[in-house]
Structure 1
Amino acid sequence: MRITRFLRNRSVTVEEMLSQAASSTSQRCQGRDVVVIQDTTVIRSTGGGGDYLHVAIALDGSDGAILGLVDGQFLQRSSGRRGQRRGSPVEEKESFRWLQGADQAASVCAGADRITVIADREGDIYEAFALRPDTTDLLVRAAQDRSLEDGGKLFAALDALPEASQTDLDLPAGPGRRARTARLAVRFDKVMLARPKRQLGAGLPDAVEMQMVDVREIAAPAGQPAIHWRLLTTRPVADAGDAWAVVDLYRTRWAIEQLFRTLKTQGFDIEGVRIEDPQPRDKLITAALIAAVAVQQLVHGRDGGPGPLRPCTDVFHSDDIPLLEAYCARLEGKTQRQKNPHPKGSLAYAAWVCARLGGWTGYYGKPGPVVMLQGWLEIQAAKRAVDTLGYKRDV
């Protein structure tokens, strides 16, 4: 009953929830090289259309640590309108969300030393390149064989480039794919993308300068699709080292795929929400999104990371620290492997506690998002009990 009243309270809004989450993210971005990844996921499909959620999250560019939520937008798609939308201004198109995500990244992460916004092929939009905020770089996987200012085509220009370098990449197993080591070759060059003809008179420049980076697998195993990414970026690419750095940056996009898994069937199961009224439904999904980001922060922080340890307050309130320490004291065993190896107050310390509460023994494997979610829920339940019964959190 309380959650129903909360979701239907007019004073509670999706906008305010997202604003509070973004405010916390903004503080963590100060002085950092920040990567903002944006993507869209389906909430409920209705035969050609449905309800969708567009999300942007911030990562630390140095170690991939998730800094927090940047933006969230709810969308409704209708089938059969593609032709009608084609000639419309970008502000009237659903694809405008990619431009809004970049603008929000520039605003939320304004204190960062550098901001790079990453998108998959849906973000391959000429307006996004031409109208990007001055304070951000873009990195997008190309979807369209665009015309070039010199009359050529993008894909042919990439194919004609000489190899600049080769390297090996360990690929984890995936659906229909065995783990393997792939041999990759990289090419790069500068390119001038021509404005699409249908956008004449739209106030856009005739061409925009981009760096193109092409990475493709050499001799993929029989029956396995070869890796081939065509990447467009505004970041400078002067040599092969810069090109591989762009490839590594694009690979961080995996973080948002993991977030969506936690948000959906492998975690909060937002696809199973049966609330028909969009206002309370969107509030519930927004709350789940904020929580899913916290769970993924715990997963990333479980080993301590290659860089400086993130603070526990990335996920928990400072008042929660005594509760985490009390749980840790109960969960630790006598052997060294049963001890929490991380310093108090760190995110890694809190992740160890959540993992143990979620069923991880401390001996085998690494705790994933499902285990971490269960432990996080245990902490939230304990906090509610403390608040309801009026006990002090340090007891």
Structure 2
Amino acid sequence: MAGSFGLGGLDIMLSRWVMDETQDINLLDKRLEQRFRTLLDSLSQASTASIPAACNDRAEMVAAYRFFDNEKVRFENVLEPHIESTYRRIKAHKTVLLVQDTTELDLTRPHSEVEGAGSLHNGNRCGALLHLLHAFTTDGTPLGTVSAEAWTRESRSDQPALKRGSSEKRVQIKNRPFHDKETFRWLTTAQHCADVKSHVPKTQLVMLADRESDITEVIDFCRSQADFDWIIRSDGGRIVNKDDKTDPSIAVRESLRNTATLFTRELEIRERHAWGSATVKHRPGKADRRDRAVSVSVHFDTVTLNDPRVGKREGVTLNAVLVRETKPTNQDEPIEWLLLTSLPIGSQDQVELVIEYYLLRWMIELFFKVLKSGCKIESRRFEHIDRFLPALALYLIVAWRSLYVCRMSRAHSEKSCKHLYTDAEWQSVWQVINRTSPPKKPPTLLEMTKLIAQLGGYVNRKNAGPPGPQTVWLGLQAMHLIATCWLTFGPGATKTCV
């Protein structure tokens, strides 16, 4: 059931999920809070459209831009009610994965400049960066954001930038205090995992992070925590601690390669499209990647790593799993993952679980794809970064909802679609696609998602795979228009004389 409230003499109907998601909103102004709900509802129904196109009229468009320009509206308090709702969803699960990652938001404009935007990689583009901690179930269903930080770098100065990878650049980075580095966010986000645990004490939390988080301070903190488990992909450069310092150094990766193969298995590697400049796309681990099946060998051991910090003699002992592609091709970057973890690895089943959890780290890349392609966040036109950031927070909620609907149909395919859709939504879509009156019993979530995806271009033929997020988010926009017409002109519409 939808909720409603009065605004300017109008009775505005809101989607049920919007009312649920914003129950903890606190902008210290009731009209602002009402406007927030209206905006969230409107933009979620037309996620790819521009803000003027998503609004019902000029007055609503003006109100939207005034909302983002209001000094009471900030990135943090726009996102806060969603975070509280995410905690409630996490509580319903025994184990939840907390995935952290960073992405660039390219706001470069050919004929204008976003005031306050900072430089991005190599300094030839401008925009903002976003570091996210997002919760997923163990079947890949997104539960929502629990921590987010958006920031801008200092704009490019007149002095030529030091070349990436040069000795001067390495010295500059090394001499910078850790808390002043962007990588410090990997530590603060890991620390936030402990805070999440205080809200969901009965749920096991497992933090997942990619190679950028392979930082000694991050691993030190994670090892000191009993509140959550963790899996960090190592960059492979770590050295095994030696009892005899005269022995030659050996990398952890090489040490694990020398162990016996525990087992082999097939992995489904997901497609990845690199975001950003051509330089970024050709960095290791950032290039485009196609969907493919690979055969991998799996090695594991409990290892003691050398602590690279000056004066540290004791090693760091933890569990490590090495996943290697057995038959790499010249066409694709070979798969070789060195996973450091707090999870037990005493049996094949336990090692398999580590790998299965890490495979779900890909879901945050899919989330960023929905944010950038499905919500067009980089195309939003704002003159100042301070107006863009509250809009970013709002679209983080829209992106979550789009991906949530898509993944729910896979994880809970046999549930009734009434868990997510109103009668007007499923009945109108059924009639448009099937050209028959809707049945008394609502279709399942999977059936409904396929119907919606067909509105977005999905071809529902025999042996076709499940719909992807793109056809679903396009179909959802069409569904909202169809449902509005159904309520206005359909069987249950109030008959009026004209």
Q: What is the alpha-carbon distance in structure 2 between the residues aligned to residue 106 and residue 311 of structure 1?
A: 35
Give the CA deviation at 1:97: 1.3
Q: What is residue 134 of structure 2 aligned with on the other side?
A: 57
- TM normalised by structure 1 equals 0.81
Whether the 8 Å contact between 2:253 and 2:322 is mirrored in structure 1 is no
Query: Once the two structures are superposed, what CA deviation does each residue of 1:128-185 show, in whole Å capped at 9, x if it has no partner?
Result: 1111243111111111412333264322322222211112334466677776542211
Give the CA deviation at 1:193: 2.4
Could you tell me which of 108, 119, 124 is aligned with 2:196? 108
Map 1:1-395 to 2 at 5 A: 1-30=62-91, 31-44=93-106, 46=120, 48-49=122-123, 50=126, 51-61=128-138, 63-77=139-153, 80=162, 83-109=171-197, 110-111=199-200, 112-132=202-222, 133-150=225-242, 152=249, 153-171=251-269, 180-198=292-310, 206-264=314-372, 266-305=373-412, 309=415, 321-328=422-429, 330-331=431-432, 333=434, 342-343=443-444, 348=446, 351=449, 354-360=452-458, 362-363=460-461, 365=464, 366-378=466-478
Q: What is the alpha-carbon distance in structure 2 between the residues aligned to residue 68 and residue 7 of structure 1?
A: 22
Whether the 8 Å contact between 2:417 and 2:443 is mirrored in structure 1 is no
Give the CA deviation at 1:85: 4.0
Greater shift in the superposed pair: 247-256 or 359-368 = 359-368
Amino acid at match of 2:434: G
Q: Which has the larger radius of gyration?
A: 2
SS across alignment from 1:68: strand
Whether the 8 Å contact between 1:106 and 1:135 is mirrored in structure 2 is yes
User: Alignment identity in percent?
Assistant: 26
Give the CA deviation at 1:91: 2.7
Whether the 8 Å contact between 2:431 and 2:437 is mirrored in structure 1 is no
Give the CA deviation at 1:309: 4.8
SS across alignment from 1:48: helix
Q: What is the alpha-carbon distance in structure 2 between the residues aligned to residue 82 and residue 338 of structure 1?
A: 66
Give the CA deviation at 1:69: 1.6
Q: Give the paired residue count.
A: 376
Which runs of 5 or more residues in structure 2 are unaligned? 1-61, 107-118, 155-160, 163-168, 274-287
Q: What is the alpha-carbon distance in structure 2 between the residues aligned to residue 102 and residue 115 of structure 1?
A: 11
Whether the 8 Å contact between 1:304 and 1:342 is mirrored in structure 2 is no
Give the CA deviation at 1:230: 1.0
Give the alignment's Cα RMSD to 1 decimal. Answer: 3.7
Which runs of 5 or more residues in structure 1 are unaligned? none
Whether the 8 Å contact between 1:129 and 1:208 is mirrored in structure 2 is no
Give the CA deviation at 1:276: 3.7
CA 1:141–1:339: 2 relative to 1, 3 Å: farther
Query: Once the two structures are superposed, what CA deviation does each residue of 1:239-267 show, in whole Å capped at 9, x if it has no partner?
Result: 22222221111110111111111111x22
Whether the 8 Å contact between 2:417 and 2:442 is mirrored in structure 1 is no
SS across alignment from 1:147: coil
Whether the 8 Å contact between 2:99 and 2:134 is mirrored in structure 1 is yes
SS across alignment from 1:34: strand
Amino acid at match of 2:218: A
Whether the 8 Å contact between 2:430 and 2:438 is mirrored in structure 1 is no
Greater shift in the superposed pair: 110-119 or 173-182 = 173-182
Greater shift in the superposed pair: 168-177 or 32-41 = 168-177
Give the CA deviation at 1:126: 1.1
Q: What is the alpha-carbon distance in structure 2 between the residues aligned to residue 381 and residue 108 of structure 1?
A: 38
Whether the 8 Å contact between 1:328 and 1:340 is mirrored in structure 2 is no
Amino acid at match of 2:136: L
Query: Once the two structures are superposed, what CA deviation does each residue of 1:71-110 show, in whole Å capped at 9, x if it has no partner?
Result: 2111324565764442444333211211222233332354
SS across alignment from 1:58: strand
Whether the 8 Å contact between 1:18 and 1:71 is mirrored in structure 2 is no
CA 1:39–1:336: 2 relative to 1, 3 Å: farther
Give the CA deviation at 1:231: 0.9
Q: What is the alpha-carbon distance in structure 2 between the residues aligned to residue 279 and residue 174 of structure 1?
A: 30
Give the CA deviation at 1:223: 4.1
Q: What is the alpha-carbon distance in structure 2 between the residues aligned to residue 275 and residue 130 of structure 1?
A: 41
Q: What is the alpha-carbon distance in structure 2 between the residues aligned to residue 157 and residue 219 of structure 1?
A: 20
Q: What is the alpha-carbon distance in structure 1 between the residues aligned to residue 188 and residue 416 of structure 2?
A: 29
Amino acid at match of 1:159: R
Q: What is the alpha-carbon distance in structure 1 between the residues aligned to residue 456 and residue 233 of structure 2?
A: 37
Give the CA deviation at 1:333: 2.5
CA 1:156–1:36: 2 relative to 1, 3 Å: same
Give the CA deviation at 1:217: 1.4
